[in-house]
Amino acid sequence: MGLLDPKDKDEKIDNLKYVIRVQEKEIKRLEELCEEEDEFFTEMIADGLRHGSALAAKHMKDRNDYLNGKY
């Protein structure tokens, strides 16, 4: 019966729990994707530094500042 029907309430709660599970999976997928991207970026920076790139040095400094909470 309307808003106070326990069955509707339980169904809404179950639906919200499902949405939360889906969102948690997506968050985990995005975190893993970011980690992969960071690995590629770090590898690119290292390669640039080996070849004497000033731009790679700037990116490494920016990355270290970010990791140390300066941004």
Q: Where are the domains of the chain?
A: 2-67
What pTM was computed for the model? 0.68
Q: Quick one: pLDDT band at residue 2, thresholds 50, 70, 90?
A: low
Q: What is the DSSP string of the chain?
A: -GGG-HHHHHHHHHHHHHHHHHHHHHHHHHHHHHHHHHHHHHHHHHHHHHTT-HHHHHHHHHHHHHHTT--
d(CA 58, CA 13): 50
pLDDT band (50, 70, 90) for residue 4:
low
CA–CA distances in Å: residue 20 to residues 16, 17, 28, 37: 6, 5, 12, 25
Residue-wise pLDDT for 41-65, tens only, equals: 999 999 999 999 999 999 999 999 9
